[in-house]
Amino acid sequence: MQRVGFLLKVKEDRIEEYREHHRNVSRDMLDALRRHGWRNYSLFMRPDGMMFGYVEVPESFQSALDGMAGEDANSRWQALMEPFFDAPDGGRPDENMVELVEVFHLD
């Protein structure tokens, strides 16, 4: 199992709408995440839209992302979410996650 932290930045004028979408994530998207081993997945956001994500995956973060890349539910979700993010080079949110290196863990 790998513990993963990552950063993303939501546009400040889209924060409330972004939160609303996450109160209503589709069942097929939730099922796809589970199928590809996403566990203990959480998102935390500062008032300015800077977001920290945490997830535990069975093998590697890249493997979990690769599995999701083949899911229709994920393709629809990424297209819906793309306009919400500050991404200097554009692209899907799941391609712009800045993965953080774990430096400490207390079990």
| 39-61 tens-digit pLDDT | 999 999 999 999 999 999 999 99
Residue 97 has pLDDT above 90, yes or no: no
Tokens of 52: 């920290």
Residue 20 has pLDDT above 80, yes or no: yes
Instruction: Please tell me the distance from the alpha carbon of residue 79 to that of residue 14, in angstroms, as a whole number.
Output: 15
Domains of the chain (ranges; CATH) run 2-100 (3.30.70.100)
- Please name the residue that has the structure tokens 């080079």: 89
Tokens of 90: 């554009």
* pLDDT reported for residue 101: 93
Q: Is the pTM of this model over 0.85?
A: yes
Share of the chain above pLDDT 90, in %: 86
Helices (H), the chain: 15-22, 27-35, 61-69, 72-81
- Please name the residue that has the structure tokens 């939160």: 19
* Longest Cα separation, the chain: 38
Predicted confidence (pLDDT) per residue in 65-78, tens digit: 999 999 999 999 99
Using pLDDT thresholds of 50, 70 and 90, give the confidence band for residue 94: confident
Q: Counting Cβ atoms within 10 Å, is residue 36 exposed (0-12), middle (13-18) or buried (19+)? A: buried
